[in-house]
Amino acid sequence: MEHTDSKALAEGARARGAHVHLVHGHPTDKMSTMEAIAAALSFPDYFGRNLDALYDCLTDLSWLPAGEHVLIWGGAELLKAADPRAYLAIRSVLSDAERAMTPGGDRVDSRHLTVAFCDD
């Protein structure tokens, strides 16, 4: 997980052939943040809208093409300021999923997840 601006992150990801997914709307509560992540990654309708379901979908991604998928969360600091517990919980799920979806992680798949945070 890294911090920089979303445009630079997206350009770098695309340059290496990754699929870019942007979290839109700068959500400031737990539910809207999970929904924004779900929308960014085109989660299936069966997404359960809780932290366990968030992890399950992040470590599946079978509905997306093979390759690296970069989730860029701009404005994450807004959730951190509004609801620090929700921010830490979601960030923990993202970190765990990213670790599981790296080459050599717990979830061996043709898809990999990279999570990036930015201020814009």
CA 101 to CA 60: how far, in whole Å? 9
What value does the mean pLDDT take over residues 5-12?
89
pLDDT digits (tens, 9 = 90+) for 28-71: 999 999 999 999 999 999 999 999 999 999 999 999 999 999 99
Query: Domain 6-118 adopts which CATH fold?
Result: Barnase; Chain D (3.30.370)
pTM: 0.90
Q: What is the pLDDT of residue 4?
A: 65
What pLDDT shows up at residue 104?
74
The whole-angstrom separation of Cα 11 and Cα 44 is: 27
pLDDT tens across 59-118, in order?
Answer: 999 999 999 999 999 989 999 999 999 999 999 999 999 999 987 777 767 899 999 988
pLDDT > 80? residue 119? no
Number of other residues whose CB lies within 10 A of the CB of residue 100? 16
The Cα–Cα gap between 55 and 41 comes to 13
Going from N- to C-terminal start, the domains of the chain cover: 6-118
Q: At 120, is the pLDDT very low, low, confident or very high (cuts 50, 70, 90)?
A: low
